[in-house]
Each structure stands twice: as structure tokens, then as C-alpha cells.
């Protein structure tokens, strides 16, 4: 691997030198004269801006403006000045022999002249008529972050984010646009994963939320996230270096219970089971000895602290080179990220390397070319003990938390493994990859992109473009599992006793896979302005996509030793292997036509036709139209007296799109093996059909209606947007298992049976300005969405309560039904006086005791049964999301902060899933915890304590300090002699604190649904220190 890194490094250096030399050779070299240039820098309001960096691009020497915005710099007649300031867009100003230059800075706030990335192209913000939200790279690189998805939370209205794990390399947040589902992610023209990218590679992030997504047709039903990476610019060569060191820690730390707490629980459980009090597992004296910790026979080992550390390091380093001239532009990037786990010793790591080279060349006046190369490599190396850190129950519940603290951490002979009272032996052993074994996953992604564009001279504004993208992905995983023997030690007789071996035998498995994807796009594009008022743009494209892949796996057990980690060393009788392959394709015809009059009236129409190999020939084609309108009222003559509006644009759109990932070749009858049969004395594997084929199955169809308003007042003192939307999702696949009798006799095929509707609202509001010497930009957003079933294939209910609870048609899709908790019994008198009974206990309350749960009798019949259930919550994804982004600049200091939160969702919390300190301190007992609102019922309590209710389902709201950065930019005058144009140092952090309605349970509000408190790799907060350096 070291050899590969060295080879990659020298390849990068050589390519960069080639590009730089190429750019220099093409550049026009004219003799320059040295001159002194003075000027003044102001903002759009005409106010002077202090501490603006003014750098000569050739010498890299620079100055900063004073309090009056004035500067004076030595440069050349043909030179150019790079202008940069926090909170403003960078500029490059040509000197052109002038001795005086005044510069007006433009705020980073989006304006009508900004370019917005849309499907297969770009549009000026002034003419965008769809619901498109965009942010630039500076918003997602505020703090060093390992996974780009976690930088998007709270940034864009309508983008729902939820991070349910902190595992390095698998800590990405699930992204959901408007509650529609998993969106299509396009990076530089090809569908891919956001997790492959380094945030510093990204130029812009756009999300298409309405009919604007129709241009992606059958894949765009859940919205589209568009990513564009950085490219070279017309400037002198610029070298940028970013480096940071980060400490990661768990947002919520749940510790295991102590020996005394476990012992007391066992006593309470014994007594609650009605067993004799004189035979309790532990006496009060023994429990006290556990607390005292002075008797070596009554230990309180901290297995958690022995296997989990408080902080884990992470490093992020990247280098980029860019520059060019009118004929050729280049950009190169290399980034390295190393992230360790919170496991204490040899706990594994995640390494990622990103390499990218882009070149844009103007070959002739009519022909231009672009070539991109991207390479991504990652390694996920973790311990394989207890099936690895990603197996929540095995690893976190049965290993980390289940380890018995009454056992010794180490033995006098430290070469002998100490037993921790669990089937895996010991968490110290299982979390150490050098001892228990390892999982080593390596993945490589290589992507090439070539593009030619020819401008047709005979038809001004018309060009033909061809793009070919090829991506190859390979993955190899090796999992080695070791086995060890575990012992206890008796100090009285100096004797070691073998207890058991770790439960998993020695095994070795290997798996590998390759995937390739080819995308071809050929288009005619037109962009022409007439009379300065009319602008027509159009595109007609043919797109071809083909992807295929294969995988292979093999394993063996029965190893006598793992000294030779090869498959042939295992027992041949345990050999197992498997393989798979796939292929699919799509062809598409795409058309788009835009018209704008004076940036006042706008029209966009889209039509896409898709053919997918997933469906039968009769249902292979789908057609997806879209139309949107815009009216910028602020440009009307009757608005001239009202000068407060910079922008006031009304938008309305309708769009149709689809979702074809509903089934693969379901129109064909499939077969599978069904055991073995004896035929003529031979064992023969039998084939059976997997179910009925359905040649009529096709993609889901979505129709979305959107209305919006974009506004800006008083030169961005107040700006924002409002969106209203409604989506209909038709043809959701389902089978008629509910409406047909179970005696049908065959596995029912999928059909396009069901339908949903989703509606919601989004609001973004911001302000930009200056108070004294402080420049500020504050923007917030909030969004709501929720879905209903329009129709759902289900039984015809006749019972009113069944209809109320189980009928889906016309109801919200994420309702939770259960019982309403009414407190715990706190005394036997309370039990005896309770006027109700449980049908599940045969209406006999004799088994109920203090500490058992009560529920409300909602229908008043005196019996608690299924008819008393009501709606107690929503789904696990938030319906309301919000964010607040704050940017401040004072002289050379800059500060950024993002607050993000969500509400309107429900979390199921099982505090009894693992033996944690939260569990032991919150279960009911007849002492200090004899309260009706205690979080956990009595040990060995009634089965009715586990009725699905709002006792464990909790409506969730949270506010998270998502990220923060405080930076200082060293004055340019101190850097010029070293050839440095910018040097910034910073401290930053992510997930710094969280306020949540779940705080009393000790859990993170984004915990995964279906697991107990603490039974997963926790989300992480980070603290970073770093610098940004530009030459």
C-alpha cells in the first residue's frame, strides 16, 4: 500500500507540472513595466471595506485595505490583482496600465447575476423558474468533516438529513428531499455516491425539488442533488493547501452499569419474581463490597474504559493547483483523510484518498475540449470480533455493555486472556484487531470524462456537444476471525481455570466485486439573445447509460491457526462460495426550451422520454413533461416608484418524473433452488418458480405542483424565498396479499397498486449588511412536509376500530398506533383499587404488582385491549426541519456557525436493551424510584409492561449546534516576501452541543430506530485545528 501511495503522489506531481508548463507555453508573454496602483474598495452599498486582500498574481505580493478601503500596491502594466475578502465573492481585476482602480465587492449572497446549476447545464438565477436551491463550497467547508452528507444538514430548505451512526466511513447521513425518499445524486454528470467526495472538491451543491427534476425522468421521482466539482480559472497558477487535525468524541456517552448496580438489580428481579428473600443472589454486605472496591473478590472492572477511548483522532489534508488563460485552464486536487475509531487499541481506521485533474482547452475558436480524471480510494479496516462495529446488537449490546464488571480486567500472567463473563470472551480482546481478527475492505473508483464542444459559426448561439463518462469500481474484502481461550484466576491457590473459548470459530472469508458504468450524452444546445430583451435557450439530447457488475465470495472454517491467512489453509469440508452478476441499461431523449423577456417573463418546458431495461418491451418507455413560469414583478414599470425591491419573482411549475428502481426484470419468471431430492440414487437440486411474472409492471409516476416567491429588499437587507408544493406518487408496487385470500396458491407478483400524496411548505429568510466594522450574513430556513396514502390495497374493514387503526387509504403514511401510558402502580393498594383489567391477562389482575404499567381505557369499557389503541406518534423521519446560518467578519477575523434542528417525528427508545447505567438508575423499585413516572417498569414485571405505547415512543424535537469556525487571516503585508497570498488559521467544531426532548434518556435524537439506547456506534462531535494556505 505504501508503494501505491508513493506512485500516486509522483503521478500527481508529474501531471500538475505538465499542466502548468502547458499553460505557460500557451500564454502570451508581453514585456511589463513596473507601476504603482492605488485604489479604493467598497461594497455594493458604497461603504469602504477594510482588510481586503489585494494580491499581485504574478509576484504573489500583496497588501490590505485600510479602514477607508484604500490600498496601494506595486504591480505591472499588464498585471492582474486578486481581490478577496471574507463574506464577498473573489475577483480578479486586470491592471491594463491604469494607476488608479476602484473596486466594488459583491456579497456572497445569491443575486440575479449568479449562475445556478440545473440538470445538464446552468442558468442565471434571474431566469430560474423551478424550485432549485444551491449553496457554494464555502458553506460546506466551514469545519473539517469526513463525510459531505453531514455538512448539508440545515443548509438547504427541504433537504431532510438524519445521521444514525458515527462509524468512520459509514457515518453518512441519509438525505431526503421534501420527505419524498432517497434522491438521485449526480456528480459531474454521472450518478454516484456523495460519500466518495471530499468537501473541498465541491464547487456547488444544488437540489432540484419540483418539475426542474423532470429532466432526469425515470430516476428523479424523489428529487435530485446535483454536485459540480471545482475547475480551473483564468488566472496565474495558484497552489492551495488545507490541513487540519481533529479530535472526535461521542455526542452521548452511555456507560455500562457497575457491579453494585447489577447485583442490586438481580436482587430486585429475584424478589419481584416471588422467590424467597433469604435466597437472594447477593446480600446487602456483598453489594456494599462491590461499592467499596477494596475486596479483590468483589471487583468493579470498567470494561468500557478499557476498550473505548474518549477521543479518536482524525486528519484532513488536501492540496490543489489551478490556473490558466483564455486558451487552457487546469485544476488538480489531492486529498487525504484518516479517521480512527473510538476503540482503544488497534480499533481500526478509515482512510480515504481523492485525486482529481480537470483540463479545459479552447482548441480553436470553434472547438473546445474538456478532460477530467478522478480517482477515489478507501480502506475500512476494523476488528472482526463480535461481527464488527457495525453489528449493533452483537458488538455493542453483547460485547461492550454485557461484559461483567465483577471479573478481573487482567490476570497475573498477562499472556493469558481474562474472561469477562460473555460469549465473546472479553471486549478488550474482541475490539483489538491484532487479537480477534479484522475486516479489511478496500474500494477503488476510477472515472474518466471527455467532452468536445463545437460552436457552429453559421448559426450564432448554436453548439454541438458530446460527453462520454466511464467509471470503474472495484472492491475487495477480507475478513479473518480468530479464536482465543479465556480464563479466571484464583488467588487463594494461584490457579488458572479455563472457562471457555470465544464463540466464533476461526474462519476466513474473501469477497470481491467490480462494477462499471458508461454514460454517453450527445446534444445540440442553443443560447441566443435578441434585441437585448429576448433570450432563447434550448437543448436536445440523446443519453445512453449502461452498467454491469459481478461479485464473488468464498470462505472456509476449521482453521487450526490463523498464522497463514489463506483459504487453502482451512478445512475443505467447510468451503462455501457464491457469485452474482447484473446488468441494466437505459436510453433517453431529452428536450428543454427556455424563453425569457427582459428577465421579467420566463418560461421553461422540458420533455424526457426514458426506456429502461428493467421492464418489458410493452412498458419500457415513459414520458416525463414539465412546464414552469416566472414573473419578476420588480422589473415592471409600475414598480419603479417602489424602489425597495431588488427581486420579486413569482414562480409556478408542474412536472412529471418517475422512479424505476421498483423491481428488476419482474416481467420474467424467476427460478430458485429448493433443497435436494433423491432421484435414481443421486442427490439432485430442485428448481421452483419464485413467483408469478408481471409483464405490466412499470415505474412509479410522480406529478409535482410547485408555487414559489423569490424576493430581495433594500439591496439584500432582507432576502429569501417561499415554496408551496404538492406531489402525487402513483403506481407504487405492491402485492394483493391483503385483498386476496391466503388460499390463492402462488406467490403474488408485484403490481402498480398504491398511491400517495405529499404536500408541504418551505421558507428561507436572510439578511446581509454591516454594523460598524462588523459584516454579517444571517440566513435561516424552515420546511414542513408529510405524506398520505391516496389509495392502498387492503382488506375491506367492517369493524370501526379496525378501520380506525388499520385502514391506510386517505391516512398519513407514518402513523403509529399504540396504548396511552397512564403511569406505574406505586403500591399494592394502587393495584387493588385500579378499576380496569387486561384482556391479555384474562381480566385477572392478580399478577400485577407495584411497578407495573397502567394504560388509559379510551373506549370506557373497563378492559384494556387492542381497541384502546390510538395514534401515539409519527414516523422516524422529521416532518419539520430548520437551520440558521450565521457568518460574521471583523477586520481579519471571521466567524461562522450553523444551528440545525428538527421536530415532528417519533423515536422508540428501549432503555432495557443493554445493561447500561441509564437502565440501572431508572428502573422502578420500592425505594427512591417508587414513582409513577419512572422510565423503566419493575424487573420481572408483567408482560403488559411491553405493550406498544407512548411509554417508549417519544415525540422528538432537537436543536443542534451543527458546526462552527473561528478564523484569523494573517495580514498580506506579512506574507508577501514569502510568496504567500493567503494564510488563515482556524479552530472549528461539529455537533458541539444538542438540546433535545430525549436528553433525560441519555440518547442522541438521531439514534437509529429499532435499537436500544447505546446499542450502536454513537454519533460524534469534533474539535479541529487547522490552516488554509494559498501561494
Which range in 66-70, 77-81, 961-965 is most confidently predicted, on average pLDDT? 961-965
Q: Is domain 31-104 annotated with CATH 2.60.40.10?
A: yes
Helix (H) or strand (E) holding 922: helix 917-922
C-alpha cell at 1028: 488554509
pLDDT at 746: 64
Band of pLDDT at residue 558, cut at 50, 70 and 90:
very high
SS3 856: coil
pLDDT, average across residues 799-808: 94
Judged by phi (left if over 0) then psi (alpha if -120 to 50, else beta), residue 266 lies in alpha
C-alpha 729/C-alpha 699 separation (Å) is 11
**Cα three-residue angle 632-635-641, rounded to 5 degrees:** 125
C-alpha 782/C-alpha 532 separation (Å) is 38
SS3 802: helix
Q: What sign results for the dihedral spanned by CA atoms 81, 83, 89, 95?
A: negative
C-alpha cell at 195: 460519500
C-alpha 625/C-alpha 607 separation (Å) is 4
Residue 764 CA, distance from chain mean position? 22
More confident residue, 94 or 67: 94
pLDDT averaged over every residue in the chain = 90
pLDDT, average across residues 893-917: 95
Band of pLDDT at residue 1011, cut at 50, 70 and 90:
confident
pLDDT at 689: 74
C-alpha 344/C-alpha 309 separation (Å) is 5
pLDDT at position 998 over 70 = yes
Burial of residue 388, with CB atoms counted within 10 A of its CB: 0-12 exposed, 13-18 middle, 19 or more buried: buried
pLDDT at position 16 over 50 = no
Name the least confident of 80-89, 437-446, 658-667. 80-89
pLDDT at 13: 42
Burial of residue 926, with CB atoms counted within 10 A of its CB: 0-12 exposed, 13-18 middle, 19 or more buried: middle
The torsion of the CA quartet 928, 933, 939, 942, rounded to 10 degrees, works out to 140
pLDDT at position 784 over 70 = yes
C-alpha 485/C-alpha 741 separation (Å) is 54
pLDDT at position 252 over 50 = yes
Helix (H) or strand (E) holding 259: helix 259-272
DSSP H stretches of helix in 704-854: 800-806, 828-833
Name the least confident of 127-136, 330-339, 517-526, 677-686. 677-686
* 521 HSE (CA, 13 A, CB side): 25
Distances (CA, A) of 374 to 274, 331, 356, 476, 516: 68, 12, 4, 20, 14
The three-state DSSP-derived secondary structure of 87-149 is CECCEEEECCCCCEEEEECCECCCCCCCEEEECCEEEEHHHCCCCEEEEEHHHHCCCCCCCHH
Q: How many CB atoms lie within 10 A of CB 459?
A: 10
Name the least confident of 137-141, 184-188, 337-341. 137-141
User: 452 with 364: CB under 8 angstroms?
Assistant: no
Q: How many CB atoms lie within 10 A of CB 637?
A: 7
pLDDT at 680: 78
| CB contact set of 1029 (below 8 Å; sequence gap of 6+) | 240, 241, 242, 243, 980, 982, 983, 984
pLDDT at position 9 over 50 = no
C-alpha 732/C-alpha 652 separation (Å) is 26
Span 318-359, pLDDT tens digits: 999 999 998 999 999 999 999 999 999 999 999 999 999 999
C-alpha 74/C-alpha 78 separation (Å) is 12
pLDDT at position 846 over 80 = yes
C-alpha 987/C-alpha 28 separation (Å) is 42
Helix (H) or strand (E) holding 757: strand 751-771
User: Helices 259-272 and 284-292 meet at what angle, rounded to 10?
Assistant: 160
pLDDT at 45: 65
pLDDT at position 532 over 90 = no
pLDDT, average across residues 258-284: 94
Name the least confident of 21-25, 431-435, 779-783. 21-25
Span 450-466, pLDDT tens digits: 999 999 999 999 999 99
C-alpha 228/C-alpha 738 separation (Å) is 46
SS3 70: strand
| CB contact set of 978 (below 8 Å; sequence gap of 6+) | none
pLDDT at 7: 45
| CB contact set of 458 (below 8 Å; sequence gap of 6+) | none
pLDDT at position 884 over 70 = yes
pLDDT, average across residues 213-236: 91
Distances (CA, A) of 1003 to 170, 310, 996: 20, 17, 9
Distances (CA, A) of 730 to 488, 627, 754, 790: 63, 20, 7, 9
pLDDT at position 2 over 50 = no
Q: Give the whole-number percent of the chain exceeding pLDDT 90.
A: 71
C-alpha 418/C-alpha 404 separation (Å) is 12
Q: In DSSP terms, which residues pair with 676 in a beta bridge? A: 685
pLDDT at 670: 75
pLDDT at 17: 40
User: 1011 with 392: CB under 8 angstroms?
Assistant: yes
Residue 812 has phi, psi (to 5 degrees) of -65, 145
C-alpha 565/C-alpha 577 separation (Å) is 17
Span 349-380, pLDDT tens digits: 999 999 999 999 999 999 999 999 999 999 99
pLDDT at 87: 58
pLDDT at 86: 59
Question: Residue 486's closest CA among 564, 562, 430?
Answer: 430
C-alpha 930/C-alpha 924 separation (Å) is 6
Judged by phi (left if over 0) then psi (alpha if -120 to 50, else beta), residue 681 lies in left
pLDDT at 387: 86
Span 563-611, pLDDT tens digits: 999 999 999 999 999 999 999 999 999 999 999 999 999 999 999 999 9
Judged by phi (left if over 0) then psi (alpha if -120 to 50, else beta), residue 395 lies in alpha
Span 97-108, pLDDT tens digits: 888 888 888 765
Question: Residue 732's closest CA among 755, 748, 759?
Answer: 755
C-alpha 785/C-alpha 811 separation (Å) is 14
pLDDT at position 113 over 60 = no
pLDDT at position 176 over 80 = yes
Buried (b) or exposed (e) across 413-441, using 16+ Cβ within 10 A?
eeebbbbbbbebbbbbbbbbbebbbbbbb
Amino acid at each position: 500500500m505504501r508503494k501505491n501511495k508513493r506512485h500516486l503522489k509522483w503521478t500527481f506531481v508529474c501531471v500538475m507540472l505538465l499542466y502548468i508548463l502547458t499553460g505557460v507555453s500557451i500564454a502570451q508573454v508581453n514585456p511589463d513595466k513596473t507601476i504603482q496602483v492605488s485604489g479604493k474598495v467598497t461594497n455594493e452599498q458604497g461603504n469602504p471595506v477594510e482588510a481586503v486582500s489585494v494580491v499581485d498574481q504574478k509576484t504573489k505580493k500583496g497588501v490590505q485595505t485600510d479602514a477607508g478601503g484604500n490600498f496601494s500596491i506595486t504591480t505591472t502594466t499588464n498585471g492582474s490583482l486578486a481581490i478577496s475578502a471574507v463574506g464577498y465573492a473573489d475577483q480578479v481585476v486586470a491592471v491594463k496600465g491604469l494607476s488608479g482602480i476602484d473596486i466594488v465587492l459583491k456579497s456572497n449572497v445569491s443575486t440575479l447575476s449568479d449562475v445556478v446549476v440545473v440538470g445538464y447545464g446552468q442558468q442565471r438565477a434571474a431566469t430560474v423558474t423551478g424550485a432549485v436551491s444551491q449553496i457554494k463550497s464555502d458553506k460546506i467547508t466551514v469545519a473539517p468533516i469526513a463525510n459531505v452528507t453531514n455538512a448539508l444538514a440545515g443548509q438547504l430548505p427541504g433537504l431532510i438529513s438524519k445521521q444514525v451512526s458515527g462509524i468512520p466511513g459509514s457515518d453518512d447521513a441519509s438525505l431526503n428531499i421534501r420527505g419524498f425518499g432517497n434522491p438521485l445524486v449526480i456528480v459531474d454528470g454521472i450518478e454516484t455516491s456523495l460519500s466518495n467526495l471530499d468537501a473541498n472538491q465541491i464547487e456547488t451543491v444544488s437540489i432540484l425539488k419540483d418539475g426542474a427534476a423532470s429532466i432526469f425522468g425515470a430516476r428523479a421521482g424523489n428529487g435530485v442533488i446535483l454536485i459540480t466539482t471545482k475547475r480551473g480559472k483564468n488566472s496565474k497558477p495558484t497552489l492551495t493547501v488545507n490541513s487540519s487535525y481533529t479530535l472526535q468524541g461521542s455526542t452521548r456517552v452511555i456507560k455500562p452499569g457497575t457491579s453494585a448496580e447489577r447485583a442490586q438489580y438481580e436482587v430486585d428481579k429475584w424478589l419481584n419474581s416471588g422467590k424467597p428473600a433469604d435466597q437472594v443472589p447477593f446480600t446487602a454486605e456483598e453489594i456494599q463490597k462491590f461499592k467499596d472496591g477494596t475486596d479483590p473478590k468483589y471487583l468493579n472492572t470498567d470494561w468500557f474504559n478499557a476498550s473505548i477511548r474518549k477521543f479518536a483522532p482524525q486528519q484532513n489534508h488536501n492540496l490543489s493547483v489551478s490556473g490558466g488563460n483564455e486558451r487552457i485552464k487546469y485544476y488538480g486536487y489531492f486529498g487525504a483523510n484518516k479517521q480512527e475509531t473510538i476503540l482503544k487499541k488497534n480499533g481500526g481506521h478509515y482512510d480515504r484518498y481523492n485525486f482529481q485533474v480537470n483540463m479545459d482547452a479552447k482548441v480553436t475558436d470553434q472547438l473546445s475540449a474538456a478532460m477530467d480524471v478522478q480517482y477515489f480510494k478507501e480502506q475500512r479496516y476494523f476488528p472482526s470480533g463480535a461481527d464488527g462495529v457495525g453489528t449493533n446488537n452483537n458488538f455493542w449490546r453483547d460485547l461492550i455493555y454485557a461484559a461483567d464488571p465483577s471479573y478481573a480486567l487482567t490476570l497475573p500472567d498477562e499472556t493469558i486472556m481474562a474472561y469477562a463473563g460473555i460469549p465473546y470472551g472479553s471486549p478488550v480482546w474482541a475490539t483489538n484487531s491484532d487479537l480477534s481478527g479484522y475486516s479489511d475492505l478496500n474500494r477503488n473508483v476510477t472515472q474518466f470524462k471527455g467532452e468536445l464542444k463545437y460552436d457552429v459559426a453559421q448559426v450564432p448561439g448554436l453548439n454541438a456537444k458530446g460527453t462520454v463518462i466511464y467509471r470503474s469500481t472495484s472492491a475487495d474484502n477480507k475478513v479473518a476471525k480468530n479464536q482465543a481461550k479465556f480464563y479466571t484466576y484464583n488467588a487463594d491457590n494461584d490457579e488458572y481455570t479455563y472457562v471457555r473459548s470465544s464463540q466464533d470459530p476461526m474462519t476466513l472469508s474473501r469477497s470481491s466485486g467490480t462494477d462499471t458504468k458508461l454514460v454517453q450524452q450527445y446534444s445540440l444546445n442553443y443560447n441566443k439573445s435578441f434585441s437585448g430583451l429576448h433570450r432563447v435557450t434550448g437543448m436536445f439530447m440523446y443519453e445512453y447509460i449502461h452498467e454491469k457488475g459481478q461479485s464473488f465470495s468464498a470462505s472456509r472454517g476449521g482453521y487450526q491457526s490463523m498464522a497463514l491467512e489463506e483459504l487453502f489453509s482451512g478445512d475443505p469440508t467447510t468451503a462455501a462460495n457464491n457469485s452474482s452478476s447484473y446488468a441494466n441499461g437505459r436510453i433517453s431523449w431529452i428536450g428543454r426550451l427556455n424563453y425569457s423577456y427582459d428577465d421579467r417573463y420566463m418560461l421553461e418546458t422540458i420533455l424526457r422520454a426514458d426506456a429502461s431495461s428493467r421492464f418489458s418491451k410493452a412498458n419500457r418507455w415513459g414520458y416525463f413533461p414539465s412546464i414552469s413560469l416566472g414573473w419578476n414583478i420588480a422589473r415592471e414599470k409600475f414598480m419603479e416608484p417602489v424602489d425597495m425591491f431588488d427581486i420579486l419573482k413569482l414562480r409556478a411549475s408542474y412536472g412529471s418524473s418517475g422512479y424505476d428502481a421498483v423491481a428488476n426484470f419482474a416481467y420474467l419468471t424467476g427460478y430458485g433452488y429448493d433443497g435436494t431430492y433423491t432421484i435414481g440414487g443421486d442427490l439432485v437440486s430442485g428448481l421452483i418458480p419464485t413467483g408469478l411474472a408481471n409483464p405490466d409492471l412499470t415505474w412509479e409516476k410522480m406529478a409535482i405542483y410547485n408555487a414559489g416567491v423569490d424576493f430581495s429588499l433594500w439591496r439584500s437587507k432582507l432576502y429569501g424565498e417561499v415554496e408551496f408544493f404538492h406531489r402525487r406518487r402513483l403506481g407504487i408496487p405492491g402485492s394483493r396479499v391483503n385483498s386476496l385470500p391466503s388460499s390463492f396458491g402462488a406467490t403474488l407478483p408485484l403490481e402498480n397498486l398504491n398511491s400517495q400524496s405529499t404536500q408541504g411548505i418551505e421558507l428561507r429568510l436572510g439578511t446581509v449588511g454591516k454594523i460598524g466594522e462588523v459584516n454579517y450574513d444571517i440566513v435561516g430556513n424552515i420546511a414542513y412536509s408529510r405524506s398520505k396514502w391516496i389509495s392502498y390495497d387492503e382488506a375491506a374493514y367492517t369493524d370501526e376500530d379496525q378501520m380506525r387503526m388499520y385502514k391506510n387509504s386517505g391516512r398519513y403514511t407514518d402513523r403509529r398506533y399504540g396504548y396511552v401510558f397512564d403511569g406505574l402502580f406505586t403500591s399494592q393498594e394502587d393495584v387493588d383499587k385500579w378499576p380496569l383489567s387486561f384482556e391479555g391477562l384474562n381480566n385477572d389482575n392478580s399478577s400485577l404488582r407495584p411497578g407495573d404499567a397502567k394504560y388509559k381505557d379510551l373506549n370506557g369499557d373497563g378492559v384494556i385491549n387492542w381497541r384502546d389503541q390510538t395514534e401515539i406518534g409519527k414516523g422516524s423521519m422529521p416532518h419539520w426541519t430548520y437551520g440558521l446560518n450565521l457568518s460574521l467578519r471583523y477586520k481579519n477575523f471571521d466567524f461562522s456557525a450553523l444551528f440545525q434542528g428538527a421536530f415532528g417525528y417519533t423515536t422508540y427508545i428501549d432503555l432495557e436493551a443493554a445493561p447500561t447505567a441509564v437502565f440501572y438508575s431508572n428502573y422502578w423499585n420500592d425505594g427512591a424510584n417508587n414513582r409513577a413516572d419512572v422510565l423503566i417498569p419493575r424487573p420481572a414485571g408483567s408482560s403488559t409492561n411491553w405493550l406498544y405505547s407512548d411509554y417508549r415512543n417519544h415525540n422528538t424535537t432537537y436543536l443542534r449546534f451543527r458546526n462552527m469556525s473561528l478564523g484569523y487571516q494573517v495580514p498580506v503585508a506579512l506574507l508577501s516576501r514569502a510568496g504567500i497570498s493567503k494564510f488563515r488559521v482556524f479552530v472549528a467544531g461539529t455537533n458541539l452541543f444538542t438540546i433535545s426532548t430525549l436528553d433525560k434518556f441519555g440518547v442522541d435524537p438521531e439514534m437509529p430506530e429499532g435499537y436500544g439506547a447505546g446499542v450502536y456506534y454513537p454519533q460524534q462531535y469534533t474539535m479541529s485545528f487547522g490552516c488554509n494556505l494559498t501561494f
